[in-house]
Chains A and B, each alone.
Chain A
Protein backbone atom coordinates (compact mmCIF):
# COMPACT_ATOMS: atom_id res chain seq x y z
CA UNK A 1 0.00 0.00 0.00
CA UNK A 2 2.02 2.68 -1.26
CA UNK A 3 0.69 5.91 -0.12
CA UNK A 4 -0.86 7.38 -3.08
CA UNK A 5 -2.40 10.62 -3.54
CA UNK A 6 -6.05 10.34 -3.68
CA UNK A 7 -6.80 11.70 -7.07
CA UNK A 8 -10.31 12.48 -6.01
CA UNK A 9 -9.25 14.80 -3.27
CA UNK A 10 -9.05 18.08 -4.89
CA UNK A 11 -5.93 19.89 -4.21
CA UNK A 12 -7.11 23.02 -2.70
CA UNK A 13 -4.73 25.65 -3.54
CA UNK A 14 -5.63 29.17 -2.83
CA UNK A 15 -8.46 29.68 -5.12
CA UNK A 16 -8.91 33.00 -6.66
CA UNK A 17 -11.94 34.68 -5.33
CA UNK A 18 -14.33 33.51 -7.94
CA UNK A 19 -17.83 33.84 -6.69
CA UNK A 20 -19.13 30.33 -7.02
CA UNK A 21 -22.64 31.06 -5.87
CA UNK A 22 -23.62 34.11 -7.82
CA UNK A 23 -24.27 33.45 -11.45
CA UNK A 24 -23.09 36.14 -13.79
CA UNK A 25 -26.54 36.26 -15.36
CA UNK A 26 -28.41 39.50 -14.65
CA UNK A 27 -30.53 39.31 -11.57
CA UNK A 28 -34.22 39.16 -12.48
CA UNK A 29 -36.26 42.21 -11.57
CA UNK A 30 -38.14 41.86 -8.31
CA UNK A 31 -41.76 40.95 -8.76
CA UNK A 32 -43.56 44.20 -9.51
CA UNK A 33 -46.18 45.21 -7.00
CA UNK A 34 -49.50 44.83 -8.78
CA UNK A 35 -50.74 48.26 -7.83
CA UNK A 36 -47.57 49.98 -9.02
CA UNK A 37 -48.80 50.65 -12.52
CA UNK A 38 -46.38 53.03 -14.16
CA UNK A 39 -48.07 55.85 -12.29
CA UNK A 40 -44.81 57.46 -11.39
CA UNK A 41 -43.76 58.12 -14.97
CA UNK A 42 -47.11 59.44 -16.08
CA UNK A 43 -47.40 61.26 -12.77
CA UNK A 44 -44.22 63.15 -13.56
CA UNK A 45 -45.55 63.96 -16.99
CA UNK A 46 -48.98 65.04 -15.80
CA UNK A 47 -47.46 67.11 -13.04
CA UNK A 48 -45.25 68.87 -15.56
CA UNK A 49 -48.20 69.59 -17.83
CA UNK A 50 -49.96 71.38 -15.01
CA UNK A 51 -47.01 73.49 -13.96
CA UNK A 52 -47.84 76.77 -15.66
CA UNK A 53 -45.31 78.81 -13.72
CA UNK A 54 -42.24 76.73 -14.39
CA UNK A 55 -41.21 76.39 -10.77
CA UNK A 56 -41.70 72.60 -10.75
CA UNK A 57 -44.70 73.06 -8.53
CA UNK A 58 -48.43 73.14 -8.97
CA UNK A 59 -51.07 75.08 -7.10
CA UNK A 60 -53.31 73.46 -4.52
CA UNK A 61 -56.30 74.06 -6.73
CA UNK A 62 -54.78 71.95 -9.48
CA UNK A 63 -54.14 68.87 -7.36
CA UNK A 64 -57.55 67.30 -7.87
CA UNK A 65 -57.31 67.69 -11.64
CA UNK A 66 -53.85 66.14 -11.83
CA UNK A 67 -55.15 63.16 -9.91
CA UNK A 68 -58.09 62.91 -12.29
CA UNK A 69 -55.76 63.09 -15.26
CA UNK A 70 -53.96 60.13 -13.72
CA UNK A 71 -57.10 58.01 -13.60
CA UNK A 72 -58.31 58.75 -10.09
CA UNK A 73 -61.71 60.08 -9.12
CA UNK A 74 -61.25 61.94 -5.85
CA UNK A 75 -64.05 64.02 -4.46
CA UNK A 76 -63.15 67.62 -3.80
CA UNK A 77 -63.67 66.81 -0.15
CA UNK A 78 -61.03 64.07 -0.30
CA UNK A 79 -58.53 66.48 -1.76
CA UNK A 80 -59.36 69.27 0.67
CA UNK A 81 -58.76 66.90 3.53
CA UNK A 82 -55.40 65.90 2.10
CA UNK A 83 -54.43 69.53 1.77
CA UNK A 84 -55.40 70.25 5.36
CA UNK A 85 -58.63 72.11 4.60
CA UNK A 86 -57.00 75.09 2.94
CA UNK A 87 -58.67 78.46 2.61
CA UNK A 88 -59.68 79.70 -0.81
CA UNK A 89 -56.62 81.92 -0.81
CA UNK A 90 -54.36 79.00 -0.06
CA UNK A 91 -56.02 76.92 -2.73
CA UNK A 92 -55.13 79.51 -5.31
CA UNK A 93 -51.69 80.49 -4.07
CA UNK A 94 -50.05 77.65 -2.21
CA UNK A 95 -47.92 75.46 -4.40
CA UNK A 96 -46.57 71.98 -3.90
CA UNK A 97 -43.65 70.09 -5.38
CA UNK A 98 -43.88 66.72 -7.02
CA UNK A 99 -42.41 65.15 -3.91
CA UNK A 100 -45.19 66.72 -1.90
CA UNK A 101 -47.79 65.65 -4.41
CA UNK A 102 -46.83 61.98 -4.69
CA UNK A 103 -47.89 60.90 -1.20
CA UNK A 104 -51.21 62.67 -1.72
CA UNK A 105 -51.71 60.77 -4.94
CA UNK A 106 -50.76 57.55 -3.20
CA UNK A 107 -53.36 58.16 -0.49
CA UNK A 108 -56.05 58.58 -3.09
CA UNK A 109 -54.88 55.52 -5.02
CA UNK A 110 -54.98 53.50 -1.81
CA UNK A 111 -58.29 54.81 -0.56
CA UNK A 112 -60.64 51.96 0.29
CA UNK A 113 -63.97 53.30 -0.91
CA UNK A 114 -63.25 53.73 -4.56
CA UNK A 115 -66.37 53.70 -6.67
CA UNK A 116 -66.64 51.25 -9.50
CA UNK A 117 -69.19 50.50 -12.16
CA UNK A 118 -71.68 49.01 -9.71
CA UNK A 119 -71.49 52.00 -7.39
CA UNK A 120 -72.26 54.43 -10.16
CA UNK A 121 -75.10 52.35 -11.49
CA UNK A 122 -76.57 51.92 -8.00
CA UNK A 123 -76.20 55.61 -7.36
CA UNK A 124 -78.10 56.46 -10.51
CA UNK A 125 -80.68 53.77 -9.96
CA UNK A 126 -81.91 55.78 -7.00
CA UNK A 127 -83.32 58.23 -9.51
CA UNK A 128 -84.80 55.62 -11.79
CA UNK A 129 -88.41 56.35 -10.91
CA UNK A 130 -89.92 53.75 -13.14
CA UNK A 131 -87.29 51.11 -12.54
CA UNK A 132 -86.75 50.68 -16.24
CA UNK A 133 -83.03 51.39 -16.45
CA UNK A 134 -83.42 55.00 -17.46
CA UNK A 135 -83.33 58.33 -15.72
CA UNK A 136 -84.71 61.56 -17.03
CA UNK A 137 -81.89 63.73 -18.30
CA UNK A 138 -83.62 66.75 -16.82
CA UNK A 139 -83.81 65.14 -13.42
CA UNK A 140 -80.20 64.05 -13.54
CA UNK A 141 -79.24 67.61 -14.38
CA UNK A 142 -81.06 68.83 -11.30
CA UNK A 143 -79.51 66.20 -9.06
CA UNK A 144 -76.02 66.92 -10.30
CA UNK A 145 -76.45 70.64 -9.78
CA UNK A 146 -78.14 70.60 -6.38
CA UNK A 147 -76.79 67.61 -4.45
CA UNK A 148 -73.36 66.53 -3.37
CA UNK A 149 -70.51 68.46 -4.96
CA UNK A 150 -72.56 70.43 -7.41
CA UNK A 151 -71.58 70.48 -11.03
CA UNK A 152 -72.03 73.73 -12.87
CA UNK A 153 -74.05 74.10 -16.02
CA UNK A 154 -71.09 73.92 -18.38
CA UNK A 155 -69.86 70.75 -16.73
CA UNK A 156 -73.28 69.18 -16.91
CA UNK A 157 -73.69 70.12 -20.56
CA UNK A 158 -70.32 68.63 -21.38
CA UNK A 159 -71.16 65.51 -19.46
CA UNK A 160 -74.57 64.95 -20.94
CA UNK A 161 -73.78 65.87 -24.52
CA UNK A 162 -75.31 63.26 -26.74
CA UNK A 163 -76.46 61.05 -23.88
CA UNK A 164 -80.19 61.67 -23.88
CA UNK A 165 -82.48 59.89 -26.29
CA UNK A 166 -85.31 61.60 -28.15
CA UNK A 167 -87.44 61.41 -25.01
CA UNK A 168 -84.79 63.05 -22.88
CA UNK A 169 -84.04 59.74 -21.17
CA UNK A 170 -80.67 58.28 -20.35
CA UNK A 171 -79.92 54.60 -20.11
CA UNK A 172 -77.68 54.90 -17.10
CA UNK A 173 -75.83 51.61 -17.43
CA UNK A 174 -74.68 52.65 -20.89
CA UNK A 175 -73.96 56.09 -19.51
CA UNK A 176 -71.75 54.73 -16.76
CA UNK A 177 -69.88 52.51 -19.21
CA UNK A 178 -69.27 55.56 -21.35
CA UNK A 179 -68.02 57.51 -18.33
CA UNK A 180 -65.69 54.73 -17.30
CA UNK A 181 -64.24 54.28 -20.75
CA UNK A 182 -62.01 57.31 -20.27
Chain B
Protein backbone atom coordinates (compact mmCIF):
# COMPACT_ATOMS: atom_id res chain seq x y z
CA UNK B 1 0.00 0.00 0.00
CA UNK B 2 1.81 3.10 -1.19
CA UNK B 3 0.34 5.56 1.21
CA UNK B 4 3.07 8.08 0.63
CA UNK B 5 2.25 8.17 -3.07
CA UNK B 6 -1.47 8.64 -2.64
CA UNK B 7 -1.49 12.02 -0.97
CA UNK B 8 -0.13 15.08 -2.69
CA UNK B 9 -0.14 16.99 0.59
CA UNK B 10 3.13 16.61 2.35
CA UNK B 11 2.23 14.70 5.44
CA UNK B 12 5.50 13.06 6.35
CA UNK B 13 4.17 12.67 9.86
CA UNK B 14 1.78 10.07 8.62
CA UNK B 15 4.61 7.89 7.37
CA UNK B 16 6.25 7.99 10.75
CA UNK B 17 2.99 7.17 12.34
CA UNK B 18 2.47 4.20 10.08
CA UNK B 19 5.78 2.84 11.26
CA UNK B 20 4.70 3.52 14.78
CA UNK B 21 1.43 1.69 14.68
CA UNK B 22 1.81 -1.46 16.77
CA UNK B 23 0.11 -3.77 14.31
CA UNK B 24 1.11 -6.94 16.11
CA UNK B 25 0.64 -5.81 19.65
CA UNK B 26 -2.31 -7.77 21.04
CA UNK B 27 -2.95 -5.22 23.73
CA UNK B 28 -3.02 -2.33 21.29
CA UNK B 29 -5.38 -4.36 19.13
CA UNK B 30 -7.57 -5.16 22.08
CA UNK B 31 -7.68 -1.49 23.07
CA UNK B 32 -8.46 -0.52 19.49
CA UNK B 33 -11.25 -3.11 19.29
CA UNK B 34 -12.85 -1.76 22.45
CA UNK B 35 -12.72 1.77 21.10
CA UNK B 36 -14.07 0.67 17.76
CA UNK B 37 -16.90 -1.20 19.50
CA UNK B 38 -17.83 1.97 21.33
CA UNK B 39 -17.70 3.93 18.09
CA UNK B 40 -19.82 1.41 16.24
CA UNK B 41 -22.37 1.53 19.03
CA UNK B 42 -22.44 5.30 18.89
CA UNK B 43 -22.78 5.39 15.10
CA UNK B 44 -25.57 2.86 15.04
CA UNK B 45 -27.52 4.74 17.70
CA UNK B 46 -26.97 8.01 15.88
CA UNK B 47 -28.29 6.48 12.68
CA UNK B 48 -31.30 5.09 14.51
CA UNK B 49 -32.30 8.39 16.05
CA UNK B 50 -34.25 10.02 13.24
CA UNK B 51 -35.78 6.62 12.56
CA UNK B 52 -36.96 6.42 16.13
CA UNK B 53 -39.01 9.53 15.73
CA UNK B 54 -40.25 8.66 12.29
CA UNK B 55 -40.98 5.09 13.36
CA UNK B 56 -39.48 3.51 10.30
CA UNK B 57 -40.75 6.16 7.92
CA UNK B 58 -37.26 7.01 6.84
CA UNK B 59 -36.29 3.47 6.04
CA UNK B 60 -35.91 4.38 2.44
CA UNK B 61 -32.40 3.07 2.12
CA UNK B 62 -31.22 -0.32 3.05
CA UNK B 63 -29.20 -0.35 6.17
CA UNK B 64 -27.29 -3.25 4.84
CA UNK B 65 -24.01 -1.37 4.46
Size of the chain B interface, CB-CB below 8 angstroms: 33
When distances are taken between beta carbons in the complex, the residues of chain B under 8 Å from A126 are 28, 31
* Interface flag for B53 (CB, 8 Å): no
Q: How far is the CB of B41 from chain A (nearest CB, A)?
A: 4
For B36, list chain A residues within 8 Å (CB). 75, 144, 148-151
User: A142 CA to B18 CA in the complex, in Å?
Assistant: 7
Which range contains the number of A residues in contact with the other chain?
A: 35 or more
Q: Is the Cβ of A148 less than 8 Å from the Cβ of B30?
A: yes
Chain B hits for A98, CB < 8 A: none
Q: A123-B34, A124-B35 are in contact. Are A147 and B40 (CB under 8 A)?
A: no
- Given known A-B contacts A65-B44, A74-B37, A159-B43, A136 and B13 have beta carbons under 8 A apart: yes
A123 touches B14 (CB 8 A): no
B interface: dominant SS: helix
Chain A binding surface, main DSSP class? helix
Task: Find chain B residues with CB under 8 A from A136 CB.
Answer: 13, 17
Q: Which residues of A contact B29 (CB under 8 A)?
A: 147-148
CB distance from A89 to the nearest CB of B (A): 15
Residues of A within 8 A of B31 (CB): 122-123, 126, 148
Given A74-B37, A75-B37, does the pair A138, B42 have CB atoms closer than 8 Å? no
Please indicate the chain A residues that have their CB under 8 angstroms from the CB of B42 in the complex: 159, 179-180, 182
What is the CB-to-nearest-CB distance from A168 to chain B, in angstroms, rounded to a whole number? 9
B65–A154 CB distance below 8 A: yes
B-contact bits for A55-89, CB 8 A (1 contact / 0 none): 00000000011001101111111100000000000
A22–B34 CA distance with the chains assembled, in angstroms: 53
Provided the pairs A147-B23, A148-B29, A182-B49 are in contact, do residues A115 and B14 lie with their beta carbons within 8 angstroms?
no
C-alpha gap A155/B36 in the complex (Å): 10
Pick from A49, A71, A78, A148: contact of B35, CB below 8 A.
Answer: A148
Interchain CB contact under 8 A, B45 and A68? yes
User: Would B37 and A123 count as touching, CB distance under 8 A?
Assistant: no
Known contacts A123-B34, A147-B32, A179 near B13 by CB under 8 Å:
no
Residues of B within 8 A of A (CB): 11, 13-14, 17-18, 21-23, 28-46, 48-49, 51, 56, 63, 65
